Amino acid sequence: MARKRVAIFISGSGSNMETLIRSMAEPDHPAEPCLVLSNRSEAAGLEKARALGVATSVIDHKPFAGDRKAFEAAITEALARVSPDIICLAGFMRILTGDFVAGWEGRMLNTHPSLLPKYKGLHTHRRALEASDMVHGCSVHLVTPELDGGPVLGQARIAVKPDDTEETLAARVLAMEHKLYPAVLRSFAEGKTAKLVLT
Ligand code: GAR
């Protein structure tokens, strides 16, 4: 069967993108990367993608001055050139409109640094610490128009330590994302629907 083509959207360091691309190099992997798209030309992940031999595209949101539809039309044009089957959001820090999301519903994944449905949105590590949570983690979910609200495909848990700071927690959660996201992408591309749980 033809491998599924994956476009990865980033805004920053792209460490999740890198682990996704490296995982797809496994010879029996059901998917392959076709594009890394960033809304920031200075995103460090772009250089990593190029070094891994994956095509990149920058669609800067700033010239669109809040016109999300026009921004997304430019994204759609870039995607049309590579015909992806799946979009993986990997630290992509722009909110996509309901129309764009609807066009990709069931084919767009996101990684989020909390155990959803807890802590949708930003500052998830700070909020977990403020709530004195003993367990924290990350989730990979299907993207729906509700922010961070789509069906969860996989979760990884970590224990919160008494001396954890936002930074130490973020680092351990990120390390779990690097295990979870490739595992979920693989099983999603294979057409499996069972939820993955890593501990
Ligand atoms: C990851 O922790 C990801 O879950 C988070 O940004 C980081 C990106 O790191 N995403 C969000 O907070 C989305 N709301 P990376 O660029 O090194 O992959």
Digit-coded pLDDT (tens) for 133-152: 999 999 999 999 999 999 99
Element (H, E) at 184: helix 166-189
From the CB of 112, is ligand 1 less than 6 Å away?
yes
- The token pair at 50 is 């190029």
Q: Report whether 185 contacts 107 (CB < 8 A).
A: no
Digit-coded pLDDT (tens) for 150-198: 999 999 999 999 999 999 999 999 999 999 999 999 999 999 989 999 9
Mean pLDDT of 82-90: 98
Strand partners, 110: 89, 141
Q: Report whether 58 contacts 35 (CB < 8 A).
A: no
Q: Are β-strands 56-58 and 31-38 bridged in parallel, bridged antiparallel, or unpaired?
A: parallel
* pLDDT score recorded for residue 199: 82
pLDDT at 122 over 90: yes
- The token pair at 195 is 């939820």
Cα(10) to centroid(ligand 1), Å: 9
Mutate to test the pocket of ligand 1, among 111, 120, 178 (most ligand atoms within 8 A of CB): 111
123 tagged catalytic: no
